[in-house]
Every structure is written in C-alpha cells, then in structure tokens.
Amino acid sequence: MNSESPWGPGAQPFQQMLGDGWAKALQAFQQFAPPTGGLSAAPSVPQLSFDTEKLQQLQQQYLHDATELWNASLQGTPTAPDRRFAGEAWAHNPLASFTAALYLLNSRTLTGLAEAVQSDDKTRARLRFAVEQWAAATAPSNFLAFNAEAQKKALESKGESIAKGLQNLVHDLQQGHMSQTDESLFEVGRNVATTEGAIVFENELFQLIEYKPLTAKVHERPFLLIPPCINKFYILDLQPENSLIRYAVEQGHRTFVVSWRNPDESLSHKTWDDYIEDAAILAIHTVQAITGAPTVNALGFCVGGTILGTALAVLAARGEQPVESATFLTTFLDFSDTGVLDLFIDEAFVKFREMQMGQGGLLKGQELASTFSFLRPNDLVWNYVVGNYLKGETPPPFDLLYWNADSTNLPGPFYAWYLRNTYFENNLVKPGKATVCGVGVDLGQVDIPVYLYGSREDHIVPIGGAYASTRHLPGPKRFVMGASGHIAGVINPPAKNKRSHWIRADGQLPQTQAEWLAGAKEHPGSWWTDWSQWLKGHAGKLVPAPKAYGKGRYKAIEPAPGRYVKQKA
C-alpha cells in the first residue's frame, strides 16, 4: 500500500542501509511500467507500493546477513557461493572476496524488493528481469579493478593478458559481435554442414537440399525438415557425430532440408504469407514432385515448426493433405506460455514494431542474437566479457556457439505479423482468427499423426508451451520431453549416451504438462531412437535408393550446403 514515501513504511532507513547508489537503483524501478494509452500517451511514472510485511522481513534479513558478512570479514575471508567468484585468487584476496559477497547480498535484496512490489504479475516479472540484468552487469567480476583472477593473470603474464584482451576487444568491435568461440576454426561446408547433398531447387526465399542416401534402400515416403528462419539450418548438421540430418539419412529416409536465404533489402517487403506459400508449401510440393510420393513426412524446429503448422492448416483449409506425419521440435503453436519473452510484448511494443517495419525493412540478425543472449546474461554475455577482454583468453572451439554467432536477418513485415498474431494475440489457436494465404487458420483441421518434443530447461520455448500444442492438434499424438535446453536438448545423438528423456507408456495427454509428467517415466539417453521408431512407422516400405539428385526439371544446381547458408547478416 502507498504511504507518504512511495516505497512504503520503513523504506527510508532501508535506503540508508543500502546506500545512496542502491537507493537510486530502487527508484529506477519506477521506469518499468508501460505508458498508459499506447504510443500516443505521455510516459507516466507510477508510484509503486510494497507489501509492508515482506518489506519489513527483507529489512530484517538484510541487517542480519550484513552483520554476518561483516563479522566473517573480521575473522577472515568471507566466502561468495557463486562460480563467478570461486577461483583461488578470490579466496586469497580479502577485499575482492568481501566485495563479491556484498554484491551478492545486495543483489538478493533487490530481487526481494522486486518480489515485494504490489502490482500485476507482468510488472513484477519485468522488475525481476530488470534486476537480473542490472545485477549481472554490475558484478565485480566484470571489472578489472575488482576481478582478482584477472589481476593475478595480468601480474603473472606481465601485462600480456591485458594486451591480448584489448586485441580481442578490437577484433570483436570490427566483426560486430562478441566472440563466444574461436570462429576462425570453423567454415560452413568444410567442417560444419558437411553431410553430402545437392541443391535441387531454389527461389528468392530458400534453397532445397536433397541429401545423398547412405543406405542401399530408402523408405518410399520422403522426409522434409523445416528449420527456423531466425537461424541457419546447420544447427541440424553441425558435425557428422551430432547431425540430426545425417542420422535421418542413416535411418534410410530420403531427406530434404529447407535452407533459408539470409534476407537483405531485396526481401525487406516479404510477409508471413510469403514464407508459408512460397517456402513451406512450395517445399512440400517440390519434394512430392521430385520423389513422386503422394505424401511426405515433415519436421519443423522452433519457428520452423510454427511455419510448418501454419502451412498444414492452410493446406487443410484448401482440402489438401500432402503431409503424412509431422514432427514439432521445441515449437510454439499455442503462445499462451512464452516464458521470459512475454516480458517484452505489449500493445505499445507491437505497435512500435509495426510502425517501424510493418510495411518494409529488416530486423537485423544481431538484434535478435543479442536479445536471446541476454536471456542468459551471465552464461552468454558477461562470461565472455571476463574471459575475452579482462583475461585475454581465446574461447575454446565449439561448433554450436559458432552457429549461434552466425545470425540472420528477418523481413520487417514477416516479423511484425508474427509478433502480433503469435506472441501478443495468440491467434493461431483461435479457429479462423488468423487469415494466412487467403484462408482462415484452424489447427483443428490438421488431422495427422504428430510427434511433439519439448526440452525441460528450455528458456525460449518453455516445456509448458511445447506441450500446449497437444490441445489443438486432433490427430494421434506422441509427446516426449528431453533434458537440457532449447538446443542442447534437441541436438543429443544416441551415440553420446547423454541426458535423459521422458515418455508416458499409456500415451495419455492430460490438460497440463505437469499432469503428464506425473505419469511419465525417465529413460536414459537420447530421444532420437524413440522418434526414429515412430517415424519409421509412417515412412512406408523400403525401395531402392535413387542414384541421382532431383528429377526431371529439378536438377542439381550446386553441392550442399549451397550459397544461401553462407550469406552473412
């Protein structure tokens, strides 16, 4: 409740304990409520109120912890239970260790203040996110003056680490993004995206890759993969030992993949409809024409799954069913549970993006990449600030992080439509609400077998969001949950024998993912083997493998991975 102080009763002594700098940080909370009335309204700064009981408990806890910290510092070096400050150099530097422990105490307190705000859930979530970002950015480890390990390394190397750190900084400024791996060690087509194949069709939006069979016979029904257009396709073909594409080929599937073009200004007018009609649907029909198969099996990953689901609904509205079965990997069709990404989406933000690029323009790939990185700031941002610049280290080679840095642009109209109709209004699950390619979208007409996969720790497509698709697709469904996150959970080859996956033997799909999990059993290792068995059940009989790429007017244009995937944002 409000009192004379906008921070509630007892806030003034609390601000004095935290200090003037932290009091200003508290006041910065006021900036995180959206202006009323949309873009035309003048920004207003609301008076936030706090839960009095929570605030008093927080004060008492802060005083108790601060006293313990001070006593620990008098008796020796206080410990900071955080991996950023876990090195020996921190433990042997009393001032650095005390600074780290004090930082963690103040960070916890600000997080507690965000929780104590009396407001709606979204405002509190925004405050928590702001505090997390601020805390991650102001960690003592991010500054040479406070980082005991970086100082120790500078002394031991006689300044060489500082010189190398400056070289790394200049290099990253020149390339336009922070290095998360040694990118000089990777090249698309040489040691990533190396599965043998050829481009058999292309238009201005995509190239279609057909892969060379690795078995004498293949299943009669071909297999088409649609990756996300916000990344390069080779996340599914990093190295031979962790390539989902190669795995599918080894299982006897005649495999095709959409390789999206990295949009430039010539594609800045392209819409969601264009990506559905002239890419996803066209790719399906092209695979049918090349193979002569009446139907294909299809897979969509992340946004590629959203595109595939929309395309299937459009085809169903036209009375067509060219896809026998569909696999959706970490995919949103129902956007009611989008996790942390929901914090950014409101009417004002959507209108701004529509005004900015709804009629044309590009969403730059680096903006997308930065957004996703700051969802995990300590792991994907500040960890590399410390290693690359303060310690002068070269990050180790990692194919996944090389792919992560290979960003792609998006056409503005495509992005604006997607933003409003999925994340903001969730129109794809409202029958007939969204009109795509001239027809109303109704996922209830997509009556085919589907395999749905979600990752347990996914921060981009939370497991509940992946599971929600089970409520909207009427055909036979199999849901599987894997361990780890959005990428590592998906790219988990059986040979590694890593992580686990969960399956319900009874095949039941209750209303919520939590209810589903209560009846699921954990299985060690990759979910790929379960999916492979499922896909074989929809792939038809074995026939002799083709001896050449394409067919008729669909001839090999160039070797895989093709030109489009090599275009830089």
For the annotated catalytic residues, the residue numbers are 302
Residue with token string 């005004």: 355
Phi, psi of 495 (to 5 degrees): -60, -25
Q: Are strands 477-482 and 500-503 parallel, antiparallel or unpaired?
A: antiparallel
3-state secondary structure 332-361: CCCCCCCHHHHHHCCHHHHHHHHHHHCCCC
CB count in 10 Å sphere of residue 175: 11
Count the residues in the chain.
569
User: DSSP characters for 102-117?
Assistant: HHHHHHHHHHHHHHHB
Q: If 0-12 CB within 10 Å is exposed, 13-18 middle and 19+ buried, where does residue 206 land? A: buried
Q: Give the tokens for residue 34.
A: 């959206």
**Contact in structure between 447 and 312 (CB atoms under 8 Å):** no
Can you tell me the distance from the alpha carbon of 27 to that of 36, in angstroms, rounded to the nearest whole number?
20
Q: Which of 185, 91, 392 is nearest to 384 (CA)?
A: 392
CB 221 within 8 A of CB 299: no
Cα–Cα dist 120/49, whole Å = 12
Q: What residues contact 40, with CB distance under 8 A and at least 6 apart?
A: none
The DSSP-derived string for 381-447 is IIHHIIIIIIS-PPPPP-HHHHHHHS---EEHHHHHHHIIIIIIT-GGGSTTTSEETTEE--GGG--
Candidates 294, 333, 329; CA nearest to 312 is 333
